[in-house]
Structure 1
Amino acid sequence: METPAESPAEKPAETPVGTPAEKPAETPAGTPGGTSPTTGTIPDEAQAEIHRQDVEAQAPPRVADLRVTASFDRATYPVDADIAIRVTVENVGPVAATDVRLRDTTNLSLKSGELDLRRVPGPVIGPGERRTYDLVARQDHVSPVNPEEVYFQVSAGQGAQQWPNADPTPNDNSARITARVPREFGSVDAVVFVDANGNGQVDAGEGQGGLSFVADGGSSTKRVGGATSPTGTVRFTNVTAGHYRLTIGSSSSISKVPAPGSGEFDVVGGRTTTVLVPLVEPVSSVLVPRVEFLNDPFVNAGDQVQVRVTLKNSGSAPLTGVVAVCNQNSSTPGLTGTGPGWAALHPDGPGVTLAAGETKQLVVTDVVPQAAADYGSLYVGCDFGNDGRNTAGYRGASDFADVNGKYGKVTGTLLLDDGAAERPLAGTRVVALDQRTGLWAAETTTDDKGAWRFDRVVAGPTRFVVPGEFKPREGAELVADVVAGRTAAVTFRLVPGPRWDVPAHSPKVEVTASFDKDAYDVRDVVTARIRIANNGTGGPERIFYAEDREATTLEYERGQWGVLGGSYSSPGMDLWPGQVHEVTITGTIRQWSTGGAVRLKGWLGYPFPGQPASRAFDLSAKVVFRTGDADVLVYGDANGNGSFDQGEGLPGIGLYFQGGLPNRTSEGRTDDAGRFRLKDAPAGVHEAQVRTEGTGWARPSDYYGQFTVEPGQAPQVELRLVRPLSDVLHAAIEFDKESYDQHERVGVKITLTNDGPELPVRMHCGGELPAPDMGPEWGPFAPGGTGVVLKAGETREFQVVTTIPDYAADHGLLSLTCGFGPGNSWGDGHPEANDLAKVTGVTTTVNAEVLTGDYPFTRVPDVTVVLVDLFSGKPVARSVADGAGTITFPDLKTGLYKPVVVGPWKLSESQQNLIRAVRGDDRSQTILVEPGPEVADPWTDQPGAPGAPGDAGDPGVLGDPGAAGGPDQPGAGQPRAFGVAGKDGGLADTGASVIGLGLLGGLALVLGFVVVVASRRRTA
């Protein structure tokens, strides 16, 4: 059981932690006379021996043993920073791990590395080898619960099956790491208004409602938006601190824009930023810009460029801070406007000042970028205004220039051979075709001598078409080999022929897709191959993947689609005529699938109008579920030789199996020879759990119940049991009082007796109910402590004084349930000890419903319910249900109570039927009953009746905390002397209080109060 961390308790006045009591409460026969003082810590030589025994006892079977570690490269990150993650998978086992698959969960967005991390099938990792994965992530979403924490969790396993895990130490097969992204949050109060009177303030009627207000801080976690109220206001809370740029919009065109300087603001943590956004006439109404190249055309990348910029202020007021924001939305490569030559107009600079009516000219210098040289054209396009990079209301100007480095010229003569003679073809169209698309690129007309000319043709083989009833005299095409910077001269000879037209744009995208198998085992890796071809003519077709998520059952990493992913970061690709793009997808079948098919359905873009819808595909394959058997032997290793000997088979042992794909559970019991045949189990890894309760046997620390079922095979599975440690090691836990005030300290006594050979002992505690705080005051028994060594025949006592957690009073209970033994986990057959006490001082109200029958149940109205205290067995509260079966118990002390329903009813055995009075839990509880014998009312108002209020035999037990001797009066909760009989008689051998003894046994069944932990080795 986990308990909240608390400050260390003060040093107890009792015997120091780990020091044996001077006179142990009980010294078993055979204990050496006298008890020499010893410490509770383990000497170095003993610790080494413990380690050796642990290693020997927990030697894993010969299987692959994966170990996963993960780390961030920093403990804290700035907002919007890239976050580096490293994952390492190591095989510390003696055999190779095959198909190692990793599965991750995180509140981060992975930017890179996820394809390798999530690849199926996974890699083979040999003995002693490791595999490292480096990831880059970003916090794109902020949790409102814990906005500063980012986490990454990853686990590794072999093959498709996640559970059971065949790894001998599965606890180290996963890792979870956290880091912090500290954020400060502030608020924004904004007003958007038209400053009609120019006073810089918001006056009545100036607010502008219904406008879109979007503030962008440069990332997805720094963006807010909303609509202004009728008075022009808008408010945002929990805004990440930083610099923001706003955009104002509406469903209709806006005639006014934010005034210069009002379009940006800073949010400061812990403060409210007031943003006034006055709307003014856009600068485009008075600013008239013009741009033009002065020295075009250009030839190569790097050539110097001169651009003349003319700015005219046609208004009656001066303009200051006029800048240029360039090349924002052009498909043609252009000048960015941020180079050294643009300093006067740089968008982050002071800008240019224009007096009213003034015109200024500036000549800026730049160079031809490589992209423009490749494209063959250079663009300069800028938006001009006086509010920095906030371009709302700006006015644009642009110009284009040729970059001719990749172009040449072509001159030619066009002749027609009509069979009698060659003659020039005058006044005839000659069309040059684009080298990539095969479509019209340029055209000219022959003169009266059949001559024609193109001054700008891309270098390389260029095809030409002469529309009309012609065809080439030689060959199938007219081609000129164009050389950059030169003039090619050609003569084209034609003969009469069928109609010859310029090719038209006619895309034809065809998709073929297939799975690599017609049928798959549910554990197989599924491979899909998709081929997309543009078998048409003309320009490119946009291709992107869209999936039918409802129909698709294949589980796979969508990033395998690459650029076709159809997301903002993977918007698709242009597929040119004759081009083919192929994608291979690998995935798995859902582990919980019981359907008979696996399916992948989607389409790749939208078909061209008039073309058949050939871009969709729908793949389906049969899923096969195979089964097999296993022969299981359960034996008790009576002679301790680690192997089965004749006669050691254990009959009547209960078995529980879980595993395979799809996962299935089953149960069985061994025959007289200790054997059981598991039949028709789904193929895959299975885990066998042995029911050892009441058998006198226990699972050893090296218990390994995993085995693999395959069709047509029957593995021999041997499950070894040993005598429980509780045969020789005995433990008792006792609180020093039966009842505590919520602010008291609690004393705990631990008694350990070893009837066997020398033994190292650690303590492991757990449970559902509140437990004492576990801190360093527990010494060797603290979480992660070294434990103690018990000599043969030795009994030792340890006393601890610690604090009660605050929430224990909310439950009204304090419990401690612990197991004892060697090793780092609570093992099967290890001795357990527990105790239970009240924690007083808190009351609450409990609501419940009395129900009967099967779901959705029938309400039982007008019945009397009495709550009985689980400690004393006395009634403490009484109430009557209303007509709907609803009942309320006000001012009830927190704790656990058993309900008694008066009348012909008995409590149903299908549920706990305990009332938990917990402060802060206002959920209605259920009392489920069924017809039964008449139950008398245990609550009586007759004075002097047994158990009635005022009964001298047990004063104050009926809910009267103020009664003499009642639990809230002096004398209640008196200390219980360690090792001395309690008020009801002598202590049991376990050391638990008599009050708690029977109760704890019941709680073990109804609350899971005693945590049962499998003893197979499950530690890292």
Structure 2
Amino acid sequence: MNRAALRFGVLTAVAVLALGITSAAAFAQDDPQQGGVTGVLYADKDRNGEQDSGEAISGGEVTLVGPDSAVHKTTSDADGKFAFAGLAPGTYKPSYALAGGWVVHHAKADGDLITVAEHATTDVVVRAERPYSEQLKVTWAAFDHYLYRHPSSVTTSVTLRNTTDRAISGIQARCDRKNAPGALGHGRGWDVLSGAGVTLAAGEWRSFTIVEEIPEAARAAGKVTLDCDFAPNAGWNTDGPVLHADAQVIPGNGNHTMVVGEDRNGDSRIDADEAVSGVKVVLYDWNNHFGSVEGTSGPDGKVEFTGLEKTNYRAQTRGPWMFAGEVQHVRAADQGGTSHRVVKYVKPADIRAEVKFAKPSFKSHETVQWDLVLTNVGGMDTWVRPSGYFPDLQIPDEQLTGVSVPAGESRTISFSGKIRNYRNGKVTVSGSIDYFDEQNPPVHKQFYGEVDIEQSKGSVSGVVYLDKNHNGRPDPGEAAADAVVEANGGAPYNYYKATTDAEGRYSFNELPTGAYSIGFTLAGGWIVHFPDDVVQHVQVEAGKSVQLVTGAQRPYAEVLKATVQFDKTAYAVGEEVKITVKLTNRGGYVINGVHALCNRNQGDNHLGDRVNPSESWGDLRWHAKGVTVNPGETVTLVVTERVPEAARVANRVELLCEIAPRAEFNRDFAPAYDWANVPGGGNGDVMALVAHDKDGDHVMDPGDVVPHARVRLMSDREHGFLVAEAVGDVWGWVRFTDVPAGMYWATVDGPWKIVEQYRTVGVRAGGSGLYYIGVEPDPGAVQPGDGVQPAGGGTSTGGTKVALARTGASVLGLAFLGALLVAAGAALRRWPASRQS
């Protein structure tokens, strides 16, 4: 006997309701002519298809409409139970009104009707779930045009995405529920989303392109529409995502004949001998819906336009012939129409460009001002667009604006910019102009100019100190001696270097004027922090000295400890990850404006977005005010992210953050890293040849291979964990088998270092790969047996050790002490005792 039968004490089976887990039974009634319905209503929160503790729905309104159209209503109790007694035998249509957005979905086309028999009570278990609008998303939909003529067809593109962690079957489209005139959604192209429907796996998306003829009714309505909703059994389930699109429809086609010619005798007519052939005429749709239509006059001066939309057009010629009158208009009609237009010959546009500087020479610290003078010596008006690259001057893009130049006139575009660089005592400007001459393709011409520059100079001096007491000013005993100060910039651009004296002072004399970036390198790990960048920016002016006072602090990585910790060890794609972020101030001063810059390298399987972090990161986002951490304080924040699709391929989801005040600018930060398993990507094999190309000829000579090398595959070059390791054979081949799919960093033990600093090895699910790992001697490299051991301890002497253990303790601190061996599809389990705060 099933759970429902035990719950209600039912004796014999009568009917089954296809709503989640169902059952049916019967027992004797006081009135032999009547029956009843009893049931339980629950919200399947974990989507396992069964009622679990805490899932009962209380207060749910249950309605039955009987065969005689009588309506029966009741409400579920605290245990989700409900009952109807004294029902006449027959078929009843149920409906449910539930709080919190929960919905009972119909699994069958008849709406899962309930049959009540004589002398029996039908028992049902009613499963509610989240609406399909939360499980499915219509991520993009559009028509191929925003205006159509009738008759024609519409091409529609629709993309459906399953946002859950389980498959959804039988997805259908139900369109035009309101029977709107001119509505789409009834054509054969929708067959794929009808009948058995479409199945989408967890996280899967599919796009559909549907071509459908515009209905006749759309012509009269002046509009074609598409309104659809999507759900399994969409005829009964109406809570899926919706799609709406519409476009204007105009009727029929029209024609027009234009006769063009010269009115040489001035009689306001075009005589036979005045017709002009070869005149190109363009009709522009007045509303700009359909672009343009072009035609050329024949020997009789006629230009025939057919198949036009029945709308207003603006007529324009392409030179050298132009209409003699004002703006010309044309109306296309069913029966066609004829118009006569007088034209005249006009010389094409011809632009001359000249560069004129505001004065004969400039000081190197001055703003250079110059004009681009454009003169039209042709006979047609035209629009001129300048472009150029100005390496010597700082010219904002907004100064490169276009201008209309009428025939016989000049126009000036003014430019100004600080000097960035110059050579041989001159600043040069060069670029090009583009314009139309109404007859040929766009005309492209060059312009060039140069002006003399007189060098002007200034100076920069300052003091560097170690701000040991964090008061923001230099005190006795805080001078930073032997600090390296570097200056880059000026006009012309150059590099300068100085070293501080015993009092921390330095100076740069006779510096060319201009903008400079100043950087500082100090011994003992001291770092200069800037509010907005990794360097200090100064402007050196003629005859002036810039004075700088620069304080250095201890690295943020010393005073700020940061950790990120996931709430689980394994996730499914699309599942929410709860991340606990902890910031601890181990210093003696307040740390303000702490930001988290995550996923700097934009890994597809990583959480965090360095450009547009989610709102859950709060004040840790780069554009927010930042987090304040007082001395000795630990600040805890909780952030939520969802596992990306790419984590399935990589077999893991990761989060790597750089945390510091203004972390988006500073390269001094406290790193924080965590990861979890995402099963489903599959495993693969890969082989790598380890060799030392002694003579650098890119040929494997005898003795070049490195036998018995131990190679490790790491999830990240600096902050990652050990994925797998193997020892090569006597011929230098290292074989990795049954390794989770993904891209990994390679490291080599022993007195070697990899020649390619960023050597990666890719493992493809179900496949095999071949790689070459070039090495060279490095006495300081990790020796065999040192460093991180594979899971389970010990040293491998052959084969592959697949570990997926954490490493990088020197950077991140000891955050994890062990991991279980990961076999295909096995879930990772974190040892709770191994976590360190």
The TM-score, its normalising length taken from structure 2, stands at: 0.44
Q: Which has the larger radius of gyration?
A: 1
The TM-score, its normalising length taken from structure 1, stands at: 0.38
